[in-house]
Amino acid sequence: MTRERKKGQLTLAGTDPMTFVEMDASTGEPWPPEQEAIADAVSSAVKTYLKSAETLATGKYAHFRAQIPEYLSNPGQVLILMCSNGVVIRYERKSGADRKLAIAALPKNFAEVAALLSQNLIHVESPGVPVPPNENFGVEFKLALSSPTQQTTRDLMATRIWFHVKPGAVIPPEIPGPKPYCLLSVRNELVLEIHGELVSEPGSTKPNQPFVTRSPMRLMAGWDCIEVFPGLNPTMWDQRFAALWAENDILSAVLIAHSQDAQLTTLDPRASARRQYAELLRAFKALLDANPDRDQALHSARHEHLACAGE
């Protein structure tokens, strides 16, 4: 496939999906043959990878849907950037009916491109740049304690959060078939886990009650996953194996989710029952919200039945 170069501006702002505005309507020179080869291989493999993942999430592994990352179970926009020394892919959650896959070239190394596409949330360490280049890298995170009765708020801590990646000294040999060597695969998902104790009132004989809270959170960015693949060998992106890559990634995500649930279950033996009742309540609420007029009609019918019974 012969591609024509188009110049434009890529906008990455907050949690909004990425946008591309074409700045020059005239077409440029076609890509060199080696760049065409890697572009064709990567785009074809990623398309098959995402299509296979979505099919598995709605079919064979539909019972694991809650544990499968959303960028795989319901893909949205995807941007593939070919760098001077690798490939960086940005996956987004689906917004509306849009589902686009774009591929572009940027003459920078993958460390710079990873920082760009992640909106300064991923830093790949290098000998010349061991730490982020500026103090505003990442996003500010604060933990505060609020008292509803006294109507006061007190900051407990404040820091900046980003994902720090240290490349390995040895890169595995390139063998066709397995998924290309992935230096990093970072999901925009954190879990805040707090351990504490509920202290009994003075004079009470009740022991203090330990507790653990886990709160999932997303950082203020529009991407769902960033992946970095060093190297530009098109033979490693064999479309025939992309479905297998998708299945392996889905099973890995499910295994990690189940391992985390198992750890929490040891702390709360009733965790499984709580989740089951919570799911029932969510499903019941969804039914009511789906047809509020039906709920009102049922209430009215019940009141009329009670009135007739009283007569």
Residue 9: which pLDDT band, with cuts at 50, 70 and 90? confident
Cα within 13 Å of Cα(253), Cβ side? 24
User: DSSP letter string over 209-257?
Assistant: EEEEEEEEE--SSS-SEEEEEE---GGG--GGGHHHHHHHHHHHHHHHH
3-state secondary structure of 148: coil
Structure confidence by residue, pLDDT tens digits, 216-226: 888 889 999 99
Residue 249 and residue 255: Cα distance in Å, rounded?
Answer: 10
User: How much is the pTM?
Assistant: 0.79
Higher pLDDT, 51 or 127: 51
Residue whose pair of structure tokens reads 């960086």 in the numeric block:
88
In angstroms, what CA-CA distances link 112 with 80, 83, 153, 171?
Answer: 14, 9, 39, 20
Average pLDDT over residues 106-117: 94
- Name residues whose C-beta falls within 8 Å of residue 98's C-beta, 6 or more positions apart in sequence: 17, 76, 77
Residue 265 has pLDDT above 80, yes or no: no
pLDDT number for residue 237: 96
Structure confidence by residue, pLDDT tens digits, 185-218: 999 988 888 888 888 888 888 888 888 888 888 8
Residue 85 and residue 109: Cα distance in Å, rounded?
Answer: 6
3-state secondary structure of 181: coil
Domain assignments of the chain as residue spans, ordered by start: 8-134+164-187+221-268, 271-311
Residue 306 has pLDDT above 50, yes or no: no
Residue 153 has pLDDT above 50, yes or no: yes
Structure confidence by residue, pLDDT tens digits, 64-86: 999 999 999 999 999 999 999 99
3-state secondary structure of 11: strand
Of the ranges 7-21, 209-223, 229-243, 286-300, which one carries the lowest mean pLDDT score?
A: 286-300
